[in-house]
Amino acid sequence: MAFDKMELRDIEVWDGNFAAAQALRQAQVDVVAAYPITPSTPIVEGYAKFKSDNYVEGEFVMVESEHAAMSGCIGAAAAGGRVATATSSQGFALMVETLYQAAGMRLPIVLNVVNRALAAPLNVNGDHSDMYLGRDSGWIQFDAYCPQEAYDLNFIAFKVSEDHDVRIPAVVNQDGFMTSHTAQGVHTLTDDDAYGFVGTYKPMNDMLDFEHPVTHGVQTEEDWHFEHKARQHNDMMTIVPGKIEEAFAAFEKLTGRKYNKVECYDMDDADVAVVCMGTSVETAREVAKEMREEGIKAGVVGIRVLRPFPFFEIAKALKDVKAVAALDRSAPGGAAGMLFNEIAGSLFNTDSKMLLSGYIYGLGGRDLTKAHLVDLYKELQANADAGKVLTKQQQFIGVRGPKLAYL
């Protein structure tokens, strides 16, 4: 059955959700098993509409929950098809069990996570709680800061995930509403270029190969489980980083848009830097430029690949910086923030004298304003001047009531 191609303008005005849906269409995903949840629903809705309008040749499977959605994706991926879906927040939480299954079974699946807070209290707005919940699930994790990147990173995710040396599922994160529902200009690829980049799906150990029957999802106990998990981690640490670099390079060649595992903005001579993810990166970039006009050498580091964590790239980016702020948009639940810990770990056994302080911000969609970041950069500069962290190592930004600071 033939499908129709879509004529796109060079620049379309798309929000993050529609950009991701267009990427799923252009990658000609075979199976989307999905269950709706705000704010990610328009991604799978978009794919479903493309399918019913004959712009994609595939199957849309309506299921009873997100647990079933990812289970359907796992089955389809094991059967031997290109598979994707999308979710957020509570739906992601319900999916978590099956996320570990997908990674352990080494099935390439692309999951768009439109980041949203986790209840309680119930909240549909953006923070990174769901992203953090899945960080140890064994998936490759990309982070988009805007609709353009949500579009681009989907193609990159398919290419890396489906590589036969990789076969590890990949998440593409984007901020709920701030990215998913904010329309911006998106530079498009033609259908042929996009599909050419991702490539025709090449099955491996697929259940539909009846001449080579396989059992997927077997049981092991203390005798073999550890070896399987060791292999998973080894491949994440040794194979995936290079494959991501290759995909980034190939994508730059095709589009001119260059991605890096760690994105550095104004970092060449920075004395103070903010490390963050999602739309906050764009806000921080704007503020850093303004701080430079006030004589503060401010820079921004954005995490593009959260897993495998860019340990050495972070160390390289921050080694000569005097004071760094780790911005975590997830309730830390009785610990330092995840980024604080990862950054500290990356720099600990080095000669760096970087002063690190952690900030919890933006929970449940609370705005991170430019004024917050101006204060933050000034605080970092004061730390740099004093040669020590003058505040507590963990502070909350933008919450009402007495100042919250710990550690």
Partner 1 sequence: MANTGWDEFEIGAMLRSFDGKIDDIAGTLQEDRAYSPNNSFVASVADWRIEKPVFNKDFCIDCQFCWIYCPDISIISRDKKMIGIDMDHCKGCGICVEVCPTNPKSLLMFPEQADEETELANWPAKDEEN
Nearest approach, Cβ of residue 240 and partner 1 (Å): 13
Q: Nearer to partner 1 by C-beta: 108 or 310? A: 108
How far is the C-alpha of 20 from the C-alpha of 26, rounded, in Å?
Answer: 10
Number of neighbouring beta carbons within 10 Å of residue 213: 7
Number of neighbouring beta carbons within 10 Å of residue 122: 10
Q: Can you tell me whether residue 372 is helix, strand or coil?
A: helix
Q: Nearer to partner 1 by C-beta: 77 or 117? A: 77
Nearest approach, Cβ of residue 147 and partner 1 (Å): 34
Nearest approach, Cβ of residue 75 and partner 1 (Å): 14
Residue ranges of alpha helices (H) inside 1-65 are 16-26, 41-52
Concatenate the DSSP letters of all residues of 68-125 into one string.
HHHHHHHHHHHHT--BEEEE-HHHHHHHHHHHHHHHHTT---EEEEEE-PPSSSP--S
DSSP 365: G
Q: Nearer to partner 1 by C-beta: 212 or 403? A: 212
Nearest approach, Cβ of residue 335 and partner 1 (Å): 30
How far is the C-alpha of 407 from the C-alpha of 358, rounded, in Å?
Answer: 10
Nearest approach, Cβ of residue 205 and partner 1 (Å): 6
Q: Nearer to partner 1 by C-beta: 74 or 84? A: 74
Q: Which residues of this chain interact with partner 1, rule CB under 8 A?
A: 104-107, 167, 205, 210-218, 220, 226-228, 230-231, 234-235
Q: Nearer to partner 1 by C-beta: 105 or 298? A: 105
Contact by Cβ (8 Å): 339, 253: no
Contact by Cβ (8 Å): 75, 146: no
Give me the phi and psi of 14, to 5 degrees please: -125, 150
Nearest approach, Cβ of residue 204 and partner 1 (Å): 9
CA distances to 260, 328, 371 from 343, in Å:
17, 12, 25
CA distances to 54, 144, 174, 285, 337 from 141, in Å:
31, 10, 11, 22, 18
Q: Nearer to partner 1 by C-beta: 227 or 385? A: 227
How far is the C-alpha of 162 from the C-alpha of 207, rounded, in Å?
Answer: 16
Helix H or strand E segment including 259: none
Q: Nearer to partner 1 by C-beta: 52 or 220? A: 220
Nearest approach, Cβ of residue 167 and partner 1 (Å): 6
Q: Nearer to partner 1 by C-beta: 132 or 139? A: 139
How far is the C-alpha of 170 from the C-alpha of 167, rounded, in Å?
Answer: 9
Contact by Cβ (8 Å): 114, 40: yes
Burial of 139 (0-12, 13-18, 19+ CB in 10 A): buried
Nearest approach, Cβ of residue 142 and partner 1 (Å): 21
Give me the phi and psi of 72, to 5 degrees please: -65, -40
Q: Nearer to partner 1 by C-beta: 111 or 356? A: 111
Nearest approach, Cβ of residue 306 and partner 1 (Å): 22
Nearest approach, Cβ of residue 180 and partner 1 (Å): 32
Q: Nearer to partner 1 by C-beta: 2 or 218? A: 218
